[in-house]
Amino acid sequence: MFFNSSWVLFSAEDAEVGGNMSDNDSDNGGNLSGKFKPYRFSGKNHSFDPVLEKPILREIRSWTNEYMSSNSVIHKSSYTSLKEAHTVHSKEIDLLVKIIKVFERDEFNWEVRIKDLSQESWTLTVNKLKF
């Protein structure tokens, strides 16, 4: 089974994003300001309707900043660093990480560079195909 999907990553902060990086390093030709350029997107281009999507992105950023500043997202007692994750006996774990870089390794895999709360960098290989 092949799972076809697309994604776009925007900065959570209302600041200029340096450079528009797609998987193929192509530009979609839009004249968006740095605040509304995606940090990363799948495929050759992305679509962004400024009239509809700028207000949505502003509201999501506002909610994110307000919520994250007033709520503890993770309690220290429930946090396990990635280097200790191999000791977890569960088949599945949730990750709380910052995505540093996403790029296509080959036609079947993505490579994702992440940083956990201990500020250690890790590399994940993610399959494109869902089996």
The CA distance from 19 to 34, in Å, is 8
Both 3 and 23 in one domain: the answer is: yes
One-letter amino acid of 118: S
Q: What is the pLDDT of residues 5-47, one digit of tens each?
A: 678 888 877 666 554 443 333 344 455 667 888 878 887 777 8
Both 28 and 42 in one domain: the answer is: yes
In the prediction, which pLDDT does 77 show? 63
How many structural domains does the chain have?
2
Q: Which of 55, 71, 87 is the last residue of a domain?
A: 71
Contact assessment for residue 102 and residue 112, using Cβ atoms and an 8 Å cutoff: yes
Both 59 and 120 in one domain: the answer is: no
Domain with residue 100: its CATH number is 2.40.50.140
Residue range of the domain that includes 39: 1-71
Q: Which of 11-25, 56-70, 92-106, 109-123 has the lowest mean pLDDT?
A: 11-25
Q: What is the mean pLDDT of residues 92-104?
A: 84
**Residue count of the chain:** 131
Both 47 and 26 in one domain: the answer is: yes
